[in-house]
Structure 1
Amino acid sequence: MTLTSTEPAAHRQDAADQLAAALRRMPDPTAAAGHTRRLEEQLATVFGARHAVALSSGTAALHTALAGYGIGPGDEVLVPGATVVMTVAAVLMTGATPVLVDSTPVLDLDFDDLAAKTTSRTRAIVPVHLAGRPCDLTRLTEFAARAGLRVIEDACQAQGSRLDGRPVGTFGDVGCFSMKDGKVLWSGEGGYILTDDAEFAARARSFTTHGFLPAPGRPAGSRLGHNYRLAEPLAVIASANLERFDDLLEQRHRQTRLLTDLLTDVRGLRPVQAGPREQWNHYGPLLRLTLARPRDFCRRLAEQGIANSVGTYGLTTADRLPSLAEHSLQPCPTALRSLDETLAVVVHGGHSDEQLRAMARTITQEARRWPST
């Protein structure tokens, strides 16, 4: 198993030995999921929750969280319009109806729109910490408590982000995270849930194993679930990376600062800064675009090899996604305008400083060449 050249050799060897031990036990299906259980204990300790449940992906985490609180047909779930398809898909997987909420110009939730769209059928709110930036969770949890709603945080990009010093993903009933490649904490694929609710954690573990594990009031095998288990070799990789999480987080901070600093004085680009209460994980550089046709500019950068959320992956509001067209989701005009004007550059632990400088040179050159109309 290859980690990074900056990691002590002894740590790399220990991780490789653990992975080899896990592989030697395979393909025995009766082997205990010891590495996964150890990872769950580590996650709960590191991120300040009573319970953690490891799963196969961030999407599985969201689906499991919603199902774990009994959300299903006839229910409505409030979701920011400024999100990726996976958030909305998880709601649809339960049979519930997603209701899109518009954003402020800085992509926080529009609380007036949130209140207007809360009905007697609303069961939960799923705030999304896009690019790792926390929304106003204090205000949101107070709103949810008054309305009797669950808060299920989509924190898939927010590992290490904090609000007022508290880890994102621990404000609501449940926090859902991804460990896909490119996340600060990665294992190739995978995800996890953080919660202080012991009964929910038991239901979640049962749901992720076809219902084969017992849950409160439900003996083993008494309900259907899914195969959302995290594979043991991936748990080993995640555990090894979790042990160096502070270093991974600092690396991402440094990468984002480097690229942002190189672009600070470029015409038409304005770096996005963290708010006063926000300890952002700097998941990736964010810049506001004042150039003409900003979405086309993002596409141009993608053509030049600069991966970014809008130009490469087509990030837009959920109501405009072709895969969700049949669901007639509500337009979110402020969120759409804000996403159109955002350059979110994709960085990851494999990028060298020279690669980041080359990316900055390309972005600078393209911005200088970009027509004014």
Structure 2
Amino acid sequence: MNTPDPMALLERVVARMPDPVGREQASLLETELAATHGVAHAVVVSSGTAALHTALVARGIGEGDEVLLPALTVIMTVAAVVQARAHPVFVDAGPDGEPLDLADAASKITPRTRAVLPVHLGGQCGDLDALAELAASAQLDLIEDACQAHGSRYHGRLLGTIGRAGCFSLKDGKLISSGEGGYLLTDDPDLAARATAFQSHWQIPAAGEPALSRLGTNYRLAEPLAALARVSLAGFDERLARRRHAASRLIDLVGDVPGLIPILATSGEQPNGYSALWRILLPEPRRLCRRLAEVGVINSVGTFDLRAAHLHPACRPLHPASCPRAAHAADCLLAVPVPDDDTRLTEIATLIRTEISAW
């Protein structure tokens, strides 16, 4: 893919902004995203959360329905399910650290369950084949939260293209970014049409449902952001290779430190290097993560307060069941987003080694 000149592209976008129905860049971005991921349809929206919400609504999931999702997830995934008026049912982590325990998931399927929503934190997914088999056997939609998994593969297939739909973020820091934004991928033409209608107040009708015959919302991606995302997408392959190399290098630079165990990809996984991942085997791991954040090591627990969703204050009104393995996994997780800068990698590795050794 040729890389567009960002300044020329933005000048073109600004010149066309008086057009009340202009959607040139968003449409081009959708075509390019679909081609890059090898799927039939892409729908761009205003955020990764919006992509998840839109995918659920486009599948008719709503009031009275249940969605299974890992307790070890970010709060934005939970928010999307609640925004769809469905009920999130949290599934515990597996006994060996798997992101989602299949036996627990199977035990929580009820007649109201409509979908299972795996979350590929750090660009990793665990045993997605077994989860897909469980979903198929129970006639559930598999909708992937791939917001951190651009370019990650599972047995050769891109994450976000394995389920009924895959949802991605374009927020800054992602491997494809426009500052803010998101998109969903699908091979289902009906889902794509309903998603397109929903994200623009149903002004663009889906088949058999005339324009404005349903309530939608404004999840449109602004044209300047779509243009920036096209520039980012054009350099994606190179950025993906750099990120994978940087993640591997950071783990190597940290090396063997007592109490810190790298979390490696499972069989069939090829992560994108979004984060370098370790398991902490030291006392008070959450406080240690906060200490690392204080000295400049950005990490999911210490910086962003990642915790098992059933323990999140915002989830208390949902009356969630306890998921103790997920709580332990979150507490012991060190997930460090990886920069491209080699000098910064060395600085981060030194800080991690120093703080862990002193703990």
The reply to whether residue 332 of structure 1 matches residue 319 of structure 2 is no
Q: Which residue of 2 aligns with 1:39?
A: 29
Amino acid paired to 2:49: T
Rounded Cα–Cα distance in structure 1 between residues aligned with 2:347 and 2:270 = 28
Q: Please state how far the C-alpha of 1:258 moved relative to its aligned partner.
A: 1.9
On the 8 A contact 1:127/1:135 being kept in 2, the answer is: no
Q: Please state how far the C-alpha of 1:11 moved relative to its aligned partner.
A: 4.4
The reply to whether residue 94 of structure 1 matches residue 84 of structure 2 is yes
The reply to whether residue 302 of structure 1 matches residue 324 of structure 2 is no
On the 8 A contact 1:182/1:347 being kept in 2, the answer is: no
Q: Please state how far the C-alpha of 1:195 moved relative to its aligned partner.
A: 0.2
Q: Which residue of 2 aligns with 1:368?
A: 357
Q: Please state how far the C-alpha of 1:135 moved relative to its aligned partner.
A: 2.9
Q: Structure 1 pair 299/23, CA: closer, same or farther in 2 (3 Å)?
A: same
Q: Please state how far the C-alpha of 1:129 moved relative to its aligned partner.
A: 0.6
- List aligned pairs for 1:165-244, cutoff 5 A: 165-244=156-235
On the 8 A contact 1:82/1:107 being kept in 2, the answer is: no
Q: Calculate the TM-score normalised by the size of structure 2.
A: 0.97
On the 8 A contact 1:56/1:231 being kept in 2, the answer is: yes
The reply to whether residue 357 of structure 1 matches residue 346 of structure 2 is yes
On the 8 A contact 1:58/1:156 being kept in 2, the answer is: yes
On the 8 A contact 1:183/1:348 being kept in 2, the answer is: no
Q: Root-mean-square deviation (CA), in Å?
A: 1.3
- The one of 122, 132, 147 equivalent to 1:141 is 132
- The one of 45, 49, 52 equivalent to 1:59 is 49
Which SS does the other structure have where 1:285 is aligned? Answer: strand
Which SS does the other structure have where 1:171 is aligned? Answer: coil
Q: Which residue of 2 aligns with 1:4?
A: none
Residue by residue over 1:61-113, the C-alpha shift from the partner in whole angstroms, topping out at 9 and shown as x without a partner, is: 00001101111111111111000111111111111111000111323310100
On the 8 A contact 1:77/1:125 being kept in 2, the answer is: yes
Q: Which residue of 2 aligns with 1:277?
A: 268
On the 8 A contact 1:54/1:229 being kept in 2, the answer is: yes
Amino acid paired to 1:178: S
Q: Please state how far the C-alpha of 1:136 moved relative to its aligned partner.
A: 1.9
Rounded Cα–Cα distance in structure 1 between residues aligned with 2:348 and 2:202 = 48
Q: Which residue of 2 aligns with 1:252?
A: 243
Rounded Cα–Cα distance in structure 1 between residues aligned with 2:189 and 2:14 = 31
Residue by residue over 1:29-55, the C-alpha shift from the partner in whole angstroms, topping out at 9 and shown as x without a partner, is: 232x11111111111111111100011
Rounded Cα–Cα distance in structure 2 between residues aligned with 1:358 and 1:166 = 34
- The one of 15, 28, 31 equivalent to 2:19 is 28
> What percentage of aligned pairs have identical amino acids?
51
Residue by residue over 1:257-307, the C-alpha shift from the partner in whole angstroms, topping out at 9 and shown as x without a partner, is: 221111122222122211221111111110111121111110110111211
Q: Calculate the TM-score normalised by the size of structure 1.
A: 0.93
On the 8 A contact 1:88/1:98 being kept in 2, the answer is: yes
Amino acid paired to 2:177: W
Q: Which residue of 2 aligns with 1:3?
A: none
The reply to whether residue 156 of structure 1 matches residue 147 of structure 2 is yes
How many residue pairs get aligned? The number is: 357
- Runs (4 or more) in structure 1 with deviation over 4 Å come to none
The reply to whether residue 69 of structure 1 matches residue 59 of structure 2 is yes
Rounded Cα–Cα distance in structure 2 between residues aligned with 1:259 and 1:353 = 9
